[in-house]
């Protein structure tokens, strides 16, 4: 008999687990060794599976070709098989046939039953944020919640007991500096497993800015404590990297070796070298950006955790002094970073970091440094390597000087319809093909922040909303994994593309058709081409890449739009 029977429906914390059973049919029995056949009808698409074999009496060696034995009970009656790399992908309705030759100590073959469990199907259902009743077109509470979950999925190091991502575990616990310094923690940059501090610090600054200005949105959505916890994770790592006043580790992991590995971060075995800046290998750009992250986060935490906030501010001051005293581009000092996050200027980071430190301290020295490093004119945009538009907004906020307002208006004259930035047919401001959503989301945040200073308030707010709504579905589909209509299902992300352990994972999984086994909730994918063209394929790392800096400005802009609706400024 080979008909698969429904065994179990378990409504648990993370959803419904479906398993099926089938009996082991004895086709030959030679006394001491038998041939058994086990056939399942696959109940749902699978990218990995395990079969639990239960026999009525002990058995010895099992020869079969569909899986690998990974464990057995002490009494040799229960054996766990896990798919081989080439047998793990199955479609709903397929037959999984396992023919086995089994030794046993008795004179008659024991009876057996097999239980098939899907390791390549995500049963995780995220907690439900309270419904958004602010009048927004899309449920922004859900977007905020899921974006925070994305950052949790990016965590490196020893995960806390409160980890909400069931398919993630501890990883990279051996990350160390040259003298054994603890460099564990932080966020993996994108769909890979390198920790690049330059974009990581920028992401923290962008998120802290949004939390500082739109705390009411996070509170109303039930995400405030999760948000504090979210940015605390990379902040603790960045503090650990600042091992002395003039020594700062800026990268862990070699991009070349890392990108040749397709698998879970929990299973990495390649070397993970650490790279630092110091007095003879300067990096004032990454030092100033990290100072900005510390200073902005000081403002976030000063009324919540004064001790932690003071630690952040002290490191911000020391880090910025390092940036001032030893100028230079970090990617000139750290060649391992140059192929991935090459810096093209340091003046924007010096302005940005100084402006945040002035907001945190009111020390006029920082304002002088910020204004001295300010670059006049329309800004290209806002990104991990381009902070001129952010500087405009901060400096106008603290000085009210006409030059900064003029430059903000000139920047958005370029970005608004009719300016120099082209638009896709369905309405996305298209700055660059690599992460097209990211640039528009970042500028949506800048537009909202400028509007709070009374600059073209309604125009900028509505433009920002149009860009975010494009990403949430106004173009006909969502670009946020796990949210809205027809969202991406194949983000270019190693961890989410792998079935649950102990199923194997390799570049074989990268090439498979179909959704990633684990839903990378909240991740904003790179986005469309200039004609709104988009294919949901994890092999397209231009359109389907995900990254912390993609989500940072986006999430803060979402919080800003929600806050504007809550405050009655929109619609």
Separation CA 325–CA 267 (nearest Å): 41
Separation CA 571–CA 78 (nearest Å): 62
Beta strands 78-83; 25-29: pairing state: unpaired
CATH code for 140-566?
1.50.10.10
Where do the domains of the chain lie? 5-118, 140-566
Q: Is 492 among the residues known to form the active site?
A: yes
**pLDDT of 257 higher than 90:** yes
pLDDT digits (tens, 9 = 90+) for 389-420: 999 999 999 999 999 999 999 999 999 999 99
Asked whether the CA dihedral 359, 361, 366, 367 is positive or negative, the reply is positive
* Percent of the chain at pLDDT exceeding 90: 90
- pLDDT level of residue 19 (50, 70, 90 thresholds): confident
Which of these is catalytic: 134, 145, 175, 192?
192
pLDDT at 155: 98
Q: What is the mean pLDDT of residues 451-466?
A: 98
Which of these is catalytic: 246, 456, 492, 493?
492
Separation CA 98–CA 65 (nearest Å): 7
pLDDT at 126: 83
Which of these is catalytic: 115, 229, 536, 540?
536
**pLDDT of 204 higher than 70:** yes
**Cβ-based burial of 361 (10 A; exposed 0-12, middle 13-18, buried ≥19):** middle
Judge if pTM exceeds 0.85: yes
- pLDDT level of residue 7 (50, 70, 90 thresholds): very low
Q: What share of the chain is helix, strand, coil (3-state, %, to 5)?
A: 40, 15, 45
We find that the CATH architecture of domain 5-118 is Sandwich (2.60)
**pLDDT of 16 higher than 60:** no
**pLDDT of 259 higher than 60:** yes
**Cβ-based burial of 491 (10 A; exposed 0-12, middle 13-18, buried ≥19):** buried
pLDDT digits (tens, 9 = 90+) for 140-162: 999 999 999 999 999 999 999 99
pLDDT digits (tens, 9 = 90+) for 85-135: 899 988 899 999 999 999 999 999 999 999 999 987 777 788 788 888 899
Q: Is 545 among the residues known to form the active site?
A: yes
Q: What is the mean pLDDT of residues 257-275?
A: 96
Query: What is residue 536's three-state secondary structure?
Result: coil
Which contiguous run of DSSP H or E holds residue 7?
strand 5-12
Which of these is catalytic: 50, 289, 371, 545?
545
């Amino acid at each position: 008999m080979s008909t698969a029977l429904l065994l179990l429906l378990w409504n648990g914390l993370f959803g419904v687990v479906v398993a099926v059973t089938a009996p082991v049919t004895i086709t030959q029995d030679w006394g001491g060794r038998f041939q058994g056949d086990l056939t399942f009808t696959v109940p749902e698409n699978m990218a990995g599976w395990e079969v639990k074999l239960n026999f009525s009496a002990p058995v010895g060696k099992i020869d079969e070709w569909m899986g690998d034995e990974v464990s057995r009970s002490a009494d040799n009656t229960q054996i766990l098989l896990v798919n081989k790399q080439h047998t793990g992908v199955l479609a709903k309705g397929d037959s999984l046939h396992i023919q086995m030759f089994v030794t046993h100590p008795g004179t008659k073959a024991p009876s057996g039953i097999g239980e098939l469990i899907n390791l390549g199907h995500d049963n995780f259902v995220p907690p439900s944020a309270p419904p958004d009743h602010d009048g927004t077109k899309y449920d922004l509470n859900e977007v905020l919640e899921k974006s925070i979950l994305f950052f949790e999925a990016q965590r490196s190091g020893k995960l806390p007991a409160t980890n909400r991502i069931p398919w993630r575990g501890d990883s990279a616990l051996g990350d160390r500096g040259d003298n054994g310094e603890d460099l564990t923690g932080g966020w993996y940059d994108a769909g890979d497993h390198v920790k690049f501090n330059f974009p990581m610090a920028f992401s923290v600054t962008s998120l802290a800015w949004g939390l500082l200005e739109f705390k009411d949105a996070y509170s109303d959505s039930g995400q405030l404590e999760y948000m504090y916890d979210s940015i605390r994770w990379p902040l603790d790592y960045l503090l650990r990297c600042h091992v002395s006043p003039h020594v700062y580790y800026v990268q862990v992991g070699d991009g070349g070796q890392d990108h040749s590995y397709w698998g879970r971060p929990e299973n990495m075995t390649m070397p993970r070298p650490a790279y630092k800046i110091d007095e003879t290998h300067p990096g004032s750009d990454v030092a100033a950006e990290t100072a900005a992250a510390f200073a902005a986060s000081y403002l976030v935490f000063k009324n919540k955790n004064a001790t932690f906030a003071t630690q952040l501010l002290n490191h911000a001051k020391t880090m910025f002094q390092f940036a001032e005293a030893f100028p230079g581009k970090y990617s000139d000092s750290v060649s391992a970073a140059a192929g991935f996050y090459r810096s093209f200027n340091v003046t924007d980071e010096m302005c940005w970091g100084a402006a945040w430190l002035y907001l945190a301290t009111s020390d006029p020295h920082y304002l002088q440094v910020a204004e001295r490093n300010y670059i006049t004119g329309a800004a290209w945009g806002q990104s991990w390597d381009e902070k001129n538009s952010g500087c405009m907004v901060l400096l106008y906020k603290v000085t009210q000087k006409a030059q900064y307002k003029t430059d903000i208006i000139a920047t958005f004259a370029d970005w608004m319809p009719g300016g120099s930035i082209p638009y896709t047919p369905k309405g996305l401001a298209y700055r660059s093909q690599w992460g097209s959503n990211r640039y528009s989301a970042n500028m949506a945040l800048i537009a909202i922040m400028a509007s709070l200073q009374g600059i073209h308030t309604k125009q900028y707010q509505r433009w920002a909303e149009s860009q975010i709504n494009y990403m949430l579905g106004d173009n006909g589909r969502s670009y946020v994994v796990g949210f809205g209509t027809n969202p991406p299902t194949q983000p270019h992300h190693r961890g989410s593309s792998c079935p649950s352990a102990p199923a194997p994972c390799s570049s074989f999984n990268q090439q498979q058709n179909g959704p990633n086994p684990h839903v990378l909730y909240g991740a904003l994918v790179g986005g469309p081409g200039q004609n709104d063209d988009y294919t949901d394929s994890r092999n397209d790392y231009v359109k389907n890449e995900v990254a912390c800096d993609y989500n940072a400005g986006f999430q803060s802009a979402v919080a800003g739009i929600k806050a504007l609706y809550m405050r009655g400024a929109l619609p």
